[in-house]
Amino acid sequence: MSDTATPTVIRREDYAPPAFLIDAVDLEFDLAPEHTVVKSTLRVRRNPAAKPAPHLELMGEQLEFIGAQIDGNSYENVRAHEHGLTIENVPDAFTLALTGACNPEANTTLSGLYVSSGNFFTQCEAEGFRRITWFLDRPDVMSTYTVTLRADKTACPVLLSNGNLIEAGDLPDGRHYAKWEDPFRKPSYLFALVAGKLVALEERITTSSGKEKLLQVWVEPNDLDKTRHAMDSLIHSIRWDERRFGLELDLDRFMIVAVSDFNMGAMENKGLNIFNTKYVLANPETATDVDFANIEAVVGHEYFHNWTGNRVTCRDWFQLSLKEGLTVFRDQEFSAAMSGGDENEAARATKRIEDVRVLRQMQFAEDAGPMAHPVRPESYVEINNFYTMTVYEKGAEVVRMYQTLFGRDGFRKGMDLYFQRHDGQAVTCDDFRRAMADANGRDLAQFERWYSQAGTPRVTVTTHYDAAAKRCSVTLSQGYANGSPAARDTQKGALLIPFAIGLIGPDGADLPLRLEGESSSSGTTRVLELTETQQTFTFVDVAHKPLPSLLRNFSAPVIVEYDYSNDELAFLLAHDSDPFNRWEAGQRLATRELLALAARAATRQPLAINDALINAFGRVLNDASLSPSFRELALMLPSETYLAEQMAESNPAAVHTARQFVRKGLAAALKSEWLVAYDANLTPGAYEPTPEAAGHRGLKNLALSYLSELDAPADAVRLATAQYSAANNMTDRAAALSALMNAASGAGGDQAKQALEDFYVRFEKEPLVIDKWFSLQATQRGTAQRPTIETVRALMRHPAFNLKNPNRARSLIFSFCAANPAQFHAADGSGYAFWAEQVLALDAINPQVAARLARNLELWRRFTPALRDAMRAALEQVAAQAKSRDVREIVEKALA
Ligand code: B3K
Ligand code: ZN
């Protein structure tokens, strides 16, 4: 770092160890909203493993320099500049004391120290600590911390930081203090403090080795009645990590704090997790089943980071997936276990389906556009732009593949070795891979390519059955789509792809599997290891011509190409023993039909729905042997965004027409079945957020949503009106409101208006519910008379709208731009103009949030020519005016 630093590209290959190490940090905060003084005392020494440097260069941003001392004497050879502090000609080992100040009240970026509803919070990952004090703000500098907080006792009765409380007391002038000590070495990105008027739900538990721990969930006083579920989720997470990985909570106290102004979901600061209120607060009246499940997943995720992220952290930010991919995998496994026990495969499958749907819709799209990058990126301009679907979700798939290859026990051995080797260290993805390889006696050199190659691999499958010899050969070829950025990179080599396969006989039952060369058959699902560009696997003793069930449980993050007929897909949907592939067959069938219809809609040809799809969906709906949650997933059509991405030229309007046509067709053809399903899945009595009850509500509300599509939606309006008023939970109330709004163009107009008004008045004091109110309107279908953009622009002027609150901005702006494709991509370009305005407005307030919104246009080259041109113009406008490095990186990459 130097004072001449301009936004430059940071490259993985340039990594060098830090010239200095900081063993201990002592921080003293005098908290005041507009002028917080921070004194930082650092024990510094030259790093024996690095090239010697005469000067110490510390990072710092937006800080006022007050003074510096070395070993107790004031030191003059210090230069404060825009990017930090240069301390010249320092000794080999010394104590450095720095005093500076910042302005939390004016900090709208929500990175560093900021004020939200009068309380103080911090967010340091990735590079926020340097906005609090000068430091070697990089993850490979690990230190122990003591922190003293001083503040006005009335304004800030609660003072929290990482670790254990070791002292507290009163000070003159109505102030008080608290001193915290974190015994574990940590990088600066895990530092946190919270100060303000908060209350806690508390619980004491005893961990597996018999130690007592204090658990706290801190919230604003009004929200104490919404903390039970987060606390339960935390306890379940602690128990699960003990059971599954033998990992115990290390600190005596573990705290979760909720804050309503937060850039992302939550943050795993050591012992003091800070959460977006959205992922903490829930009671039946305010939170849906999906909210309850998300809270459980995010509480688990942040808790699991305590070992995968905090105890073992990243050497540099290129290794982000080391902690994020692994921790997402762990939270996915946790949620699956919570929804069906560790062993119930059918129940686990619904979680798997939901995760894969997100991966395919979001990560595959990212991989096909200008932000495509490997799980371990090679370069970045702004690291906050690389908290991506690829690093998180594809990273989790990469971790899952180790488990698929080695089994749960082999994976556990790898994890044990990883902690044995690296506890307390800052390491790399290679270190993790080596632990997995060594623990399982495998050479995983080829597996590195999963970390270094961008793009979504395609596996093309052909089969050949020799009836006379009873042999079935399966040929797998791997590559990347023609013209994709990945295919153009000639450095790419074949991946090791665990490809799970089954063979299904004519009666629908799995056939026993025996590969050529094996002495006997074993099992009905086999994980083939594809390591070459093309490889043939031959199964012997295959009594009948089989139908292959490919990539069972989605065993690798790839696209599978195989020429199934519609009848074969319907057969798989009805019979495959792999629940994931049953769902997959239905999705393929629906996607095929929807894309054919979208192509006709694009050229204004008449549409007609294929009976095969109606029959297949009807069978699923009526199949009582399938769980309601599985049926709900199987009967949901692929999203408009996903479908548009599958077209040669994305045409959101045509996709919308086609998908609506199919929804109406399914609604009409299966009307009596939907009505039966509605009644059969009512959940009378007190609300329970269990997976079973949520499954019933999900299927019932899907039925209601289909019924709301009918040209004469009287049934839906009657059911939804009654459901809206009688609901004892948010899942049912929001679903009823949504159905009424859907039906609004028909008979539901007045009822929808009334319900929407009632909803606002009823929940005016619940910001998270008002977010839903904004979001429901932003994702509403528009009409020619009133396109949704008009509603959105009107809502921007609503007194409850606030651009500075990220949840509110997301509920209105992001919902419209990202979750309402047909309206956002309006032919007149009105959506793009709105997008550009809002990206620029956010750019000046909160660059991280602005950059997320900026990504919404990155796939512009794939759209129809008229839309493409309008999108480019909007991107150019933003590129010409945006100031932040965050937004500039996104739009410049999009236009390049
Ligand atoms: N580690 C944080 C994300 C920080 C994002 C910084 N822009 C939350 C998580 O993944 O658990
Ligand atoms: Zn994480």
Mean pLDDT of 645-655: 97
Per-residue tokens: 343 = 């062993």
Question: How far is ligand 2, taken at its centre, from the CA of residue 348, in Å?
Answer: 22
Residue 167 belongs to some domain of the structure: yes
Query: What pLDDT score was predicted for residue 4?
Result: 42
* 529-553 pLDDT tens trace: 999 999 999 999 999 999 999 999 9
Determine which residue's CA is closest to atom 1 belonging to ligand 1.
267
CA nearest to 56, candidates 98, 26, 27: 98
Which ligand has the minimum distance to the alpha carbon of residue 128? 1
- In the sheet that holds 158-161, the strands lie side by side as 112-116, 119-123, 193-196, 158-161
CATH number at residue 94: 2.60.40.1730
Mutate which of 307, 324, 849, 852 for ligand 1? The one with the most ligand atoms within 8 Å of its CB, which is 324
CA nearest to 737, candidates 761, 750, 721: 721
Residue 616 identity: A
Q: Is the dihedral of CA 874, 880, 883, 885 positive or negative?
A: positive
The Cα-based distances of 586 to 503, 637, 646, 696, 702 in angstroms read 18, 9, 16, 20, 16
3 state SS of 210 = coil
Give yes or no for residue 160 CB within 6 A of ligand 1: no
Provide the domain count of the chain: 3
pLDDT above 70 covers a percentage of the chain that reads: 98
Residue 731 belongs to some domain of the structure: no
Active-site annotation holds for 889: no
Give yes or no for residue 387 CB within 6 A of ligand 1: yes
Confidence at 744, pLDDT banded by 50, 70, 90: confident
Give yes or no for residue 843 CB within 6 A of ligand 1: no
Mean pLDDT of 219-225: 98
Q: What is the mean pLDDT of the chain?
A: 96
Mutate which of 129, 268, 299, 849 for ligand 1? The one with the most ligand atoms within 8 Å of its CB, which is 268
3 state SS of 352 = helix
Mean pLDDT of 705-726: 96
Query: What pLDDT score was predicted for residue 748?
Result: 60
**Contacts for 497 with CB less than 8 Å, ≥ 6 apart:** 457, 459, 476, 478, 529, 530, 531, 556, 558
Which ligand has the minimum distance to the alpha carbon of residue 266? 1
Q: Are 164 and 172 in contact (CB under 8 A)?
A: no
CB atoms within 10 A of CB 597: 24
CA nearest to 862, candidates 657, 645, 594, 602: 645
The whole-angstrom separation of Cα 395 and Cα 797 is 40
Query: What pLDDT score was predicted for residue 747?
Result: 55
CA nearest to 831, candidates 817, 846, 849: 817
Decide if pLDDT at 489 tops 80: no
Instruction: Locate the ligand 1 atom nearest the alpha carbon of residue 324 and give its number.
Output: 10
* 234-256 pLDDT tens trace: 999 999 999 999 999 999 999 99
Determine which residue's CA is closest to atom 10 belonging to ligand 1.
324
* 186-218 pLDDT tens trace: 999 999 999 999 999 999 999 999 999 999 999
* 588-616 pLDDT tens trace: 999 999 999 999 999 999 999 999 999 99
pTM of the model: 0.98
Question: How far is ligand 2, taken at its centre, from the CA of residue 302, in Å?
Answer: 6
Answer with the one of 197, 229, 263 that is the final residue of a domain: 197
Q: Is the peptide bond before 126 cis (omega within 30 degrees of 0)?
A: yes
pLDDT above 90 covers a percentage of the chain that reads: 96
Determine which residue's CA is closest to atom 8 belonging to ligand 1.
267
Residue 633 identity: L
Residue 622 belongs to some domain of the structure: no
* 402-455 pLDDT tens trace: 999 999 999 999 999 999 999 999 999 999 999 999 999 999 999 999 999 999
Decide if pLDDT at 343 tops 90: no
Give yes or no for residue 324 CB within 6 A of ligand 1: yes
The whole-angstrom separation of Cα 669 and Cα 664 is 8
Residue in 57, 268, 302, 632 annotated catalytic:
302
Determine which residue's CA is closest to atom 5 belonging to ligand 1.
125
Give 487 or 513, the one with higher predicted confidence: 513
Answer with the one of 541, 559, 577 that is the final residue of a domain: 559
Decide if pLDDT at 818 tops 90: yes
**Contacts for 860 with CB less than 8 Å, ≥ 6 apart:** 867, 868, 871, 872, 875, 894
Give yes or no for residue 886 CB within 6 A of ligand 1: no
Give yes or no for residue 126 CB within 6 A of ligand 1: yes
Residue 655 belongs to some domain of the structure: no
Residue 182 belongs to some domain of the structure: yes
The whole-angstrom separation of Cα 635 and Cα 583 is 9
Which ligand has the minimum distance to the alpha carbon of residue 328? 2
Give the H or E element holding residue 703: helix 691-707
Q: Are 310 and 268 in contact (CB under 8 A)?
A: yes
Measured at the CA of 617, the angle between CA 611 and CA 618, to 5 degrees, comes to 85
Residue 813 belongs to some domain of the structure: yes
The whole-angstrom separation of Cα 168 and Cα 160 is 11
Residue 161 belongs to some domain of the structure: yes
Domain that holds residue 118: 1-197
Which ligand has the minimum distance to the alpha carbon of residue 265? 1
Query: What pLDDT score was predicted for residue 487?
Result: 62
Query: What pLDDT score was predicted for residue 841?
Result: 99
Residue 785 belongs to some domain of the structure: no
* 762-815 pLDDT tens trace: 999 999 999 999 999 999 999 889 999 999 999 999 999 999 999 999 999 999
Answer with the one of 559, 584, 604 that is the final residue of a domain: 559
Residue 10 identity: I
Decide if pLDDT at 132 tops 50: yes
Mean pLDDT of 683-697: 96
